[in-house]
Structure 1
């Protein structure tokens, strides 16, 4: 906290200086970057400003992190022995693996943040992993991302850290500045009251740091730093309705209307600056990782004894394939050595002391495309249907998912492509598709359900994508009974829903038919229309679902 005065042009540099001046009011920073050079580029100036900082792993045990009664030492000595935790103290604390923190541990770290301690969350999560817990993210004023530019649009001329900290108590916000921050937060759809409070505290700290910069520059800087990563992408932000026209009024003396117009203009400028402070793909990436936290995205998370991210060890029996956690086993056995009359120099270990390693891994996902190639759905739109499928196949391949392709026409269904990761093979199989004939929708769903069952038996997570207009006219027995065909399709839909298989239903018709809407209700999903003019654009909106 003895950095000298000078001009600050880097975002990470400025965030570090602000946290060094006002760690209690700003909470900390969420740093999102891969381990290695991308993260070092951000942590170097940040840690230089913060000075001495303690770094801990998010997977360390609770006793080492938070402290408390050391049961092992207490039992050996016969008196309570307290142990200090790594999280105790008043200096900045950096937590590695923030995306893997459990809700309980995140809540306890949030309590540390509330007790006037700055946190640095080091997030190395990929696209298929959840974000750090919201209880922590909402308490931190700033976020640094490896994909965002580090340079500031307006460099800040700053005084030294000690001088700025001494002036902090004297700095106040005007009513106009407070109103601007609250109004901008509301326009960005930020419902959490911590956001404008943190922005106000950031602006106050910026005023203590620099008295030469224009007030509007400091206001814009505070809004970008705090609101930038919290704002929704432009297509998701709520757009307020245009104001109704008011009847013309006779000329009256100036009653402050110009001031209101100036305030609105300033707020519009702030919103525009915030919208460009982070690239759109960064905001979309955060949105899709939020979908993963809600259970969408990649395959389901499950416990494993062989591979994945490490979890705390559990008591258990040694069996084939399991791995013994030697350290945890010895720790469990240590307090009982005096009672077991163990031989000096040896540790008596009993079956109840055994601790087994466990991990969390995500299962592979298999996306099964069931495509209607009948005359009603594909005669006029075969080329567009193939393009839409290729678009989805490319998305699946980029996520390293397995893909399978089932087509149905005439009186039955065919597994054109068994589950594979070979994108070239999948695209080649599309070239030989032909349209025409009846619509055996139930047969197509049955074939897709069989492939999904095989995926489940292989330990994978299936996801079904049905592309059809829903006009079934061929029953499972091959007859052209429309009523029976409809009943068979709804019965298979209920089977798919009861199996817990997620479904994306794409309408290949010119308009959604009542039959397809009824099918979507039985599947427990929604209908997404593929417009003739922009199939790819419509599919882009389904990325969080897939």
Structure 2
């Protein structure tokens, strides 16, 4: 059993050039990586939620092939690496999860939150039984009807990846081998469905499929005559045990549904989308990844000369130069010059690039006009306070813009101060016109300033979309709506992530059109409390971080 840290380098993970031996021997000497050293054993990934997507992908490739293919530093090697992987997910937040490229290759997803000491004292399979099952595994057959039912159950539970079905087939064959069966039975397939499909379910099947009924004019098919030589009780037993394909599929679905974890089952019953809950490869609310600068965590080592934003990696530079030393010594002898101990050229330079998480700034643009202003401001105040509670941990900022009368006003510049937020909201009066275009323009200026500082802005509009003040401050609904649409289109071109929360009693066409023009998510929350609004904003922030990371990458 080998433990692999999250910050492991590719050369230590997969193997590469042994720098010390290469410089000593004068020829390329390869070193074995951790995955090759763990051949036939298990590797443990502590804090797997912090594993980079690249490292997770390389481990997943080794799991698929059962070997390490090394093509780097002038080396071309293939080494057997048949390993098992245990990934420990120690993340606390919902968006802190191991990369999907790794988790979808792992058969079992176990929740250890409620495991007690009595659970650990359960009887285990003896090594001798495992050895017998392993010897019997290759001879296990898999009936076609059971395999079809198993795959159909995967589709019915909303599992998109075909790897889940492949893993379930392997688990069913292993269960049959442990039970001493020559072929996979219904019980073995049900065990595989409960272990593999239950934690991956994204929907709960509803309704029962309707059986095909024969046309009314067509007589029912005649019953097949029973075998007179077979006892009646044996015939009844065979009929009771045999399941048609539809019943077999329903049994698989029922078994998997019964094994769904309670927390996941509650989310499915509430209708929440859990398909993207394992996307931890870039959806964190900690901010988008900035790849420029010499601060932060090392992200990659690439060939090239040092720049103000990179740092020369001496070890990797020597590693790149080592294989060429014999040729360079011969070249120096032909030219009649004395060769140095290690000759490093410009093409050997390797530089370390860094990345760091940018701050996420949530900008609230609150409609303070009309008779319902006090209700909207109370909702915004509660959402701001909930978001600020996490700012000290995630280093996020919150800003507040209110619009009423003839123009919008920045009440709270980007800050983490809860005291300033409360004071700004408490002193805001309500009523007056709705300068919607001015609010969008002001939000664009604040968001642009945040982006220039390296932050990731998220815009949240709380309005019913009924603007009646034009950009120049003159009243008039037609001109106000035209200016608002033009401002929304300009905001969309800037690429900012936005959400428009419709605070009206029923959906407003103008609010929906405005959200579409600015490329924002539309959400109708006429009676939204601060908690619901905070959850919606956090979801938008996660999408914004992922999109911002792709743009900067």
Normalised by the shorter chain, which TM-score bucket? Answer: 0.7 to 0.9
Partner of 1:358: 353
Superposed CA deviations along residues 464-496 of structure 1, whole A, max 9, x for unmatched, are: 111111111111211102222112212221222
Relative to structure 1, the CA distance from residue 150 to residue 365 in structure 2 (aligned partners, 3 Å threshold; closer, same or farther) is: farther
CA distance in 1, matches of 2:495, 2:467: 23
Q: Deviation of residue 438 (structure 1)?
A: 0.5
User: Of 193, 204, 222, which residue of structure 1 is paired with 2:162?
Assistant: 193
TM-fit CA distance, 1:501 = 0.8
For the pair 1:87 / 2:8, whether they are aligned, the reply is no
Question: Cα gap change, 1:128/1:143 in structure 2, threshold over 3 Å: closer, same or farther?
Answer: closer
Change (3 A) 1:157 1:333: closer
Aligned-partner SS, 1:375: coil
Inter-partner Cα distance in structure 2 for 1:439 and 1:519:
14
Give the TM-score, by structure 1 length: 0.73
Shift of the 381–541 alpha-carbon distance from structure 1 to 2, 3 Å rule, reads: closer
1:172-191 aligned at under 5 Å gives the runs 178=147, 181-191=150-160
Shift in alpha-carbon separation, 1:204–1:105, aligned structure 2, 3 A: closer
C-alpha distance in 1 between matches for 2:383 and 2:293: 40
Tell me the residue number matched to 1:273. Answer: 258
Residues 145-154 or 405-414, more deviating: 145-154
Bigger Rg, structure 1 or 2: 2
Q: Contact 1:185/1:196 (CA < 8 Å) preserved in 2?
A: yes
SS of structure 2 residue aligned to 1:544? helix
Unaligned runs of 5+ in 1: 1-52
Alignment partner of 1:313 is 2:301: yes
Residue 136 of structure 1 and its aligned partner are, at CA, apart by: 3.2
Between the aligned partners of 1:128 and 1:356, the Cα distance in structure 2 is 35
How far the C-alpha of 1:244 sits from its partner, in A, is 6.3
Query: In the superposition, relative to structure 1, how do residues 353 and 158 fare at CA in structure 2: closer, same or farther (>3 Å)?
Result: closer
Q: Give CA-to-partner distance per residue, 1:110-141, whole Å, 9 cap, x none.
A: 24443253233455667597754444332221
CA distance in 2, matches of 1:121, 1:450: 44
Determine the structure 1 residue equivalent to 2:195.
225
Q: Which runs of 5+ in 2 are unaligned?
A: 67-81, 224-235, 542-553
1:500 equivalent in alignment to 2:495:
yes
SS of aligned partner of 1:88: helix
Question: 78-87 or 437-446, which moves further after superposition?
Answer: 78-87
Aligned residue pairs total 487
1:39 match: none
**Residue 298 of structure 1 contacts residue 364 of structure 1 at CA under 8 Å; is this kept in 2?**
yes
Report the CA distance between 1:527 and its aligned residue: 1.1
- 2:446 corresponds to 1:461: no
Paired with 1:529 and 1:70, the residues of 2 have a C-alpha distance of: 61
Please report how far the alpha carbon of residue 54 of structure 1 lies from its aligned counterpart in structure 2 after TM superposition. Answer: 3.5
Q: SS state of the match for residue 374, structure 1?
A: coil
Following the alignment from structure 1 to structure 2, what is the Cα–Cα distance between the partners of residues 154 and 55?
A: 22
Whole-Å separation in 1 of the counterparts to 2:380 and 2:317: 58
- Compared CA separation, residues 189 and 524, structure 1 to 2 (3 A): same
Structure 2: how far apart are the matches of 1:282 and 1:530? 20
Q: Provide the alpha-carbon RMSD of the alignment.
A: 4.5
Moved more, 335-344 or 162-171: 335-344
Q: 2:317 maps to what in 1?
A: 329
Where 2:539 maps in the other structure, the secondary structure is: coil
Using the TM superposition, give the Cα deviation of residue 102 of structure 1 relative to its aligned residue in structure 2, in angstroms: 4.3
Range with bigger deviation, 133-142 or 275-284 = 275-284
The more displaced of 53-62 and 307-316 is 53-62
Query: Partners in 2 of 1:509 and 1:110 — Cα distance?
Result: 51
Matches of 1:380 and 1:62, distance apart in 2: 55
1: CA distance between counterparts of 2:249 and 2:32?
52
Instruction: Give the Cα separation in 1 of the matches to 2:56 and 2:378.
Output: 52
Which residue of 456, 462, 482 maps to 2:477? Answer: 482
- Of 381, 394, 415, the residue aligned with 2:410 is 415
**DSSP-derived class of the 1:518 partner:** helix
Q: Give the stretch that moved more between structures: 401-410 or 157-166.
A: 157-166
* Contact preservation (8 Å) 1:408, 1:439: yes
Whole-angstrom distance in 1 between the partners of 2:194 and 2:120: 11
Equivalents in 2 of 1:318, 1:265: separation in Å? 62
Task: Give the structure 1 partner of residue 108 of structure 2.
Answer: 142
Q: 2:173 aligns with which of 191, 197, 204?
A: 204
SS at the partner of 1:311? strand
Change (3 A) 1:143 1:288: same
